[in-house]
Structure 1
Amino acid sequence: MVKYIVIGVVVLILLWVIASYNKMVRSKNKVEEAFSTMDVYLKKRFDLIPNLVETVKGYAKHESETLEKVIAARNAAKNSQNVQERIQNEAALSGALHNIFALAESYPDLKANTNFLDLQGQLLKVEEDIANSRKFYNAVVRNFNNVVMSFPSNIIAGIFHFEKQPMFEVADAAERENVKVSF
């Protein structure tokens, strides 16, 4: 009789371990999917930036430092080695893009250029998509981190090396400020 109780308890613990592990795998896959979705929008932004910079160059020749910073920030973000580095580099890129739009305020001809306006509109749409995908990614990461950090599933997470994932958030205090854009 005791033998069956022990076997039953062992089977229940084993089933719980399997269920917990599978839940963490599903959650981890959702995190990776959410990041990949956001990465698609980030790639769209990377592709738009050179066109935007070239358009601005024609009007703002002596503002090359601002444009070089945008390209450098784009390249750093594109070549990030891990999620944490990517988060920091994306924040720097967002700040650099705000500088281009601020620069455009100084050049009325540039603000009236249809190519610039089209690129700006596309970039603003992509930025909106990025913001939405960041929200989704952060929600998925929150759920995953809750599973990984909660007792008793944190025991399983430790055994199978599931680690807390970073949120995608604004890293720079200057980026938290509103940017004035007028048309």
Structure 2
Amino acid sequence: MTLVYILLGLAALLLIGAIVIYNSLVAKRQMVSNGWADIDVQLKRRADLIPSLIATVKGYAGHERQLFEEVVEKRNQAAKAGDEPRARGQAESELSRPIGKLFAVAEDYPDLKASENFRDLQRDLSDTENKIEMARRFYNGAVRELNTAVETFPGNVVAGPLGFEEAAYFEIETADRAMPGVDFGGQK
């Protein structure tokens, strides 16, 4: 009779352990989803700033038509990339390059650099890039925790059969990295 109680006790402990692990995995998956939502909001904000930026630069540098078309094309590709982190990261990185070129064009137009509208857009875009970076760090931290829980024992025993999978990290080359540096008399 005591053997039955011992077996029932072990079964109850295993069930409670599985429930705790399952709930932990669900919480980690929700953190990944939350992190991705934050990234998506900031990427959409950046995409919304681009038409204003193009319109402002176009007023001063209308002959840069090819660059404007490239920015619009890359923006559209980024919008179509979807929610898969690797594909979206690649598309957003491709968008960062012509945005950097757009700011480089501003260096050739002192009136444009002095434009309050351009400075506001540049500041907004820089702020958005910083927010993307913070959201990316949060997301990648949540992905790391989920992936660790899915790969390690005893989580891997519960994760596989219940459909928990590793998530992909989000890597993006930001526009700040694509923008040229400015040299103020040889000082960096």
Mapping of 1:87-106 within 5 angstroms?
87-106=89-108
CA contact (8 A) 1:31 1:141 kept: yes
Matched with 1:76 is: 77
CA contact (8 A) 2:96 2:178 kept: no
Mapped partners of 1:88, 1:24: distance in 2: 28
Matched with 1:179 is: 180
Q: Secondary structure at the match of 1:159?
A: coil
Matched with 2:135 is: 133
Matched with 1:108 is: 110
Q: Return the letter of the residue paired with 1:118.
A: D
Matched with 1:147 is: 149
Query: 1:45/1:178 Cα in 2 relative to 1: closer, same or farther (>3 Å)?
Result: closer
Q: Return the letter of the residue paired with 1:99.
A: K
Query: 1:44/1:109 Cα in 2 relative to 1: closer, same or farther (>3 Å)?
Result: same
1:45-94 deviation line (CA, Å, top 9, x unaligned): 11111000111112222211211111112111122222321121111122
Q: Return the letter of the residue paired with 1:107.
A: Y
CA contact (8 A) 2:143 2:168 kept: yes
Q: Secondary structure at the match of 2:63?
A: helix
Mapped partners of 1:49, 1:154: distance in 2: 44
TM-score, normalised via structure 1 length: 0.90
Query: 1:70/1:132 Cα in 2 relative to 1: closer, same or farther (>3 Å)?
Result: same
Higher mean C-alpha deviation, range 108-117 or range 29-38: 108-117
CA contact (8 A) 2:81 2:88 kept: yes
Pairwise CA distance, 1:122: 0.9
Unaligned runs of 5+ in 1: none
Q: Return the letter of the residue paired with 1:151.
A: F
Q: CA RMSD in A?
A: 2.2
Give the number of equivalent residue pairs. 182
CA contact (8 A) 2:100 2:178 kept: no
Q: Secondary structure at the match of 1:61?
A: coil
Q: Return the letter of the residue paired with 2:134.
A: N
Identity of aligned residues (%): 42
